[in-house]
Structure formats: C-alpha cells, structure tokens
Amino acid sequence: MAQFVNFLLLVVVSLIAFAPLCFCTKSNYGYLYPQFYDHSCPNAQQIVKSVVAKAVAKETRMAASLLRLHFHDCFVKGCDASILLDSTGSIISEKRSNPNRNSARGFEVIDDIKSALEKECPHTVSCADIMALSARDSTVLAGGPSWEVPLGRRDSKGASLSGSNNNIPAPNNTFQTILTKFKLQGLNVVDLVALSGSHTIGNSRCVSFRQRLYNQSGNGQPDYSLDQSYAAQLRTRCPRSGGDQNLFFLDFVSPTKFDNSYFKLLLASKGLLNSDQVLVTKNEASMELVKKYAYNNELFFKQFAASMVKMGNISPLTGSKGEIRKHCRKINS
C-alpha cells in the first residue's frame, strides 16, 4: 500500500513539474511558449545563436537580412517558413515574388542552422522557429533589444506567391495601404512604426526608391518631402535608368547599429523609402510615435521587442498542423 501511495505521489509531482510546458504562457501567445524545446532540444537556442553570430561576423548586413526574412514570412500565411520553400512541381516559391526576388537573402544561414539542429536533435526544431530565433539574435548582435521568443511553430507544406506579392508592404505604398496590410495581420499603428524601426540596419536597392528622386507622382517631379541635398547625393548612384541593384544604407548615420537614429532621420526628411517618410508626412498618430522613439531609445527598444513577439504570433501552425521539415527548402517526402 505504501509503495502504491508513493507511486501516486510520484505521478502527481511529475505532472506538476511538467505542467508549465503545456500551459505556462498559452494565454499570451496561443500555443507558443519560450520553453517549448527545453526538454526535446535543450541546446536549440544556443545552436541558433552560435550560427547566426558566425554569419553576422562574416557579413554585418546579414543581421538585417535575417530579420527581414522573418517579417516577409509572417506576413504571408503566418509565421510558417513558407518563404523558405523552393519551387517544385506543386509549389511556386515565394522567393519569386516582387518583394523577395533579388532581395530576400539569408537562406544559406537558415540551412546551416537547420543542419546543425538536425545533428543535435533530429526532426525536432521547425524552420519557422529557427527564423523567429534568428531575427531576435540578429537584433541583439546589432546592438538592439532582446526578448523571449515564444516557440512551437510548425512548418507549412505550401507557399503563396500571390500572398507574398499582395500582403507585404511595398516601398511605394501609401500610408493607408501599409496600415491596412498591418491591420490584416492583427497589428496596429504602434506595431507599424516600431517594426519600421528595423530599418535602422540594412540596405535598400536603388529600384526601391528611384521614383522619389525623379517621378514621385507620375508627373516627372521628385518627392519634395525628401531633403533635397540628400536627394542630390542619392542621384549620384541611383540614376534615372540602370543601377537597379545599387545598395544604399537605410540609416546612413549608424547603418550597422540597431538604434533610434532611423527615427531622427525621418524627422529630418531623410527617410530613404517612401514607406519610411510617410510615417511622418501622412498620419498624425504615426508622426507622434516617430517623435517619441526619436527622443527615447529605451521606449523604442521596449516596443520593438513587444511588436516582434506579436508579429511572430501571426497564425502559427501548431499541434498536428503542418510538419517539422527536415530540409527548410522542401517539404518532407
């Protein structure tokens, strides 16, 4: 009898010990929670961090690229790693879409992380979670804020070229169009301004802002909301035709440091993309947020971290939905 009681006590204690794995932050993040791999792959986060650190040390720009990859994934069918899939007989890759073609990058880094994780704990860590962790680690490596990443996403078995073409905000979209695209994902104007702050690192191509220099409204006139001395500098390397792939810093003051100088540049009419500058010129609420973040780096960091968690929770596949891909570029056979 005593042995049976001891056995029951052991079962109860075990259930209590493992209860947080199921319920700890379900109310905040749906079915995602930061401790998801604590038992199935305890070194997962350290492995991701290590590979990302090597990639960013090799090429500083990679931090911005990995952050952008997560963003472009989440806005299409949710954070499900659909952006990583290559084209096959049944799949048309999102890599072919206008927002991603010739610009989305970092796929090899994700491959390296996945390879290392498959050796450590096969068929356990999803590609979608790898991207969410990579985005956080990239931000930290660039000097930005850290946050606990809710985990437990699974990978999609398909991609959406049309979703990628239509859902991701474009550099020449109006403010209202951009805000609508954010609202469709459950994000608001605070998230829009805070997440735009990721443009404090990284580059943009001449083709993404050329119209501002020469033909903003289709009348052959430049965008006069852009500081004209800055515009003159940009024209030297972004001509009316040619040079489409020439790269320019989104934040030329501290291009590799994650800070709030992006917002200060907006207030000086030196936002590179139209989608940057409209945060100041087209909406009062967003303009006030730009001012707040320009004057208070700590406030920007705090909101950026919160908005990244919110974005990372867009329509994740959990439970038995989707799969854990063995290779991030293709679905399991």
The residues that are catalytic are 72
Three-class DSSP labels, 162-203: HHHHHHCCCCCCCHHHHHHHHHCCCCCHHHHHHHHHHHHCCE
DSSP state of 96: G
Is 259 labelled a binding residue?
Answer: yes
Binding site annotation covers 94?
Answer: yes
The single-letter code of the amino acid at 188 is N
Query: Does 76 show up as a binding residue in the annotation?
Result: yes
Q: How far apart are CA 54 and CA 78, in angstroms?
A: 28
Task: Judge whether 204 is annotated as a binding position.
Answer: no
Q: If you ran DSSP here, which 8-state letter would residue 255 be given?
A: T
Q: Would the annotation count 38 as a binding residue?
A: no
The reply to whether 82 sits in an annotated binding site is yes
Question: CB–CB of 196/183 below 8 Å?
Answer: no
- Residue pair 201/321 in contact (Cβ under 8 Å)? The answer is no
103 is in an annotated binding site: no
Alpha-carbon gap, residue 315 to 303, rounded angstroms: 21
According to DSSP, the residues that pair with 151 across neighbouring strands are: 33
Residue 191 marked in a binding site: no
Whether residue 59 is annotated as binding a ligand: the answer is no
**Is 156 known as a binding-site position?**
no
Q: Is 139 annotated as a binding residue?
A: no
Smallest CA-to-CA distance from 141 within 247, 264, 53 is with 53
Residues with Cβ within 8 Å of residue 24, at least 6 apart in sequence:
33, 35
Separation CA 119–CA 182 (nearest Å): 37
Binding-site residue ranges for Ca(2+): 73, 76, 78, 80, 82, 94, 200, 251, 259
Binding-site residue ranges for heme b: 199
Binding-site residue ranges: 73, 76, 78, 80, 82, 94, 169, 199-200, 251, 259
Binding-site residue ranges for substrate: 169
